[in-house]
Amino acid sequence: MVQQIIFVFAVVFVVLTFYLVYRVVLRPKPVNEKILNEPFPRNWRKILQQRVLFYRNLPDERKKDFEERVKRFLAEKSVHGVDTVINDTDKLLVAASAIIPVFNFPYFRYPNVREVLIYPGSFDEKFRTDNQSEQRNILGMVGDGFMNGVVVLSKPDLEAAFDGMRHRKNVGIHEFVHLIDKADGAVDGVPEVLFNHSYTLPWLKEIRREMRKIRDGHSDINPYALTNDAEFLAVVSEYFFDNPEKLKHRHAELYRYLTEIFQQKPDDYV
């Protein structure tokens, strides 16, 4: 009898635990129909025009597509500040970071993302930003384990990446490219959800070739790309979208591969 009671309590505990995990972690965020159904706010358009060079350079008809994608992202995903106040600008910069890499993949909606957290600055691997940490050098991170489905971004670095100017670094694009890479189940520098499989081996050879140039000091690509194939993809994607003319001029073959991966030629919009 006692064993039966224990068994019943154990089953109830497991069911309740699963329910709580579902409610808090797994359940999709309800879509905000108000954002989807209302016209794109004029002040949002002004923010994108001033801050997001990719958007500014798009033809007018494609700007409408970008705006609709931004609305859908903000309707489906949560964006919150942690120990910092965020505004419409911050939310729009997060959405732009997500939409730019998959702009020509309109049905890709980041199924592995439910929430974006904006931190007041850089943080450590335990997400600490206070003086207890001596290694607050992380600007962005894709969560894993209990943080699965969460993206963490440093607010000042996100805002600095979108100041309407050309750069080779963009923490928002970097982290969302990791999420694209992760969508096939492996963060390995080969984003199979976008990738034509016939390009896999040539792409990996191109990674090795460019890594050798970085090691030899013959490349202007951020040496952080040497960390592994996944970081290489994220780093060169920042460069590709933020300064496409320069990447094409200095790394023509790499640029060509990235146009195949993302199905875009961002220098056409310049």
Q: Residue 204: count other Cβ atoms within 10 Å of its Cβ.
A: 14
Given this model, what pLDDT does residue 213 score?
96
User: Which amino acid, residue 209?
Assistant: R
Q: Is the pLDDT at 13 greater than 50, yes or no?
A: no
Torsion of CA 66, 270, 165, 224, to 10 degrees: 90
What is each CA distance from 197 to 57, 189, 236, 247, in whole angstroms? 31, 13, 20, 24
User: Which amino acid, residue 166?
Assistant: R
pLDDT confidence band for 17 (50 / 70 / 90): very low
Chain segment 153-197, per-residue pLDDT in tens = 999 999 999 998 888 889 999 999 999 999 988 889 999 988 877
**How many whole angstroms separate alpha carbon 214 and alpha carbon 145?**
33
Chain segment 107-141, per-residue pLDDT in tens = 999 998 989 999 988 777 766 666 555 555 666 77
At 227, list the tokens.
């960390």
Q: Give backbone dihedrals phi and psi of 131, rounded to 5 degrees, phi first.
A: -75, -5
Given this model, what pLDDT does residue 24 score?
41
Say which residue the tokens 């904006």 belong to: 118
What's the pTM?
0.84
Among 209, 214, 203, residue whose Cα is nearest residue 259: 203
At 39, list the tokens.
């016209």
Chain segment 18-53, per-residue pLDDT in tens = 333 433 444 455 776 767 778 899 999 999 999 999
Q: Give the 3-state secondary structure of the chain.
A: CHHHHHHHHHHHHHHHHHHHHHHHHHCCCCCCHHHHHCCCCHHHHHHHHHHCHHHHCCCHHHHHHHHHHHHHHHHHCEEEECCCCCCHHHHHHHHHHHHHHHCCCCCCCCCCCCEEEEECCCECCCCCCCCCCCCCCECEEECCHHHCCEEEEEHHHHHHHCCCCCCCCCHHHHHHHHHHHHCCCCCCCCCCCCCCHHHHHHHHHHHHHHHHHHHCCCCCCCHHHHCCHHHHHHHHHHHHHHCHHHHHHHCHHHHHHHHHHHCCCHHHHC
**How many whole angstroms separate alpha carbon 112 and alpha carbon 6?**
37
Average pLDDT, the chain: 84
Contact 154, 119 (CB under 8 A): yes
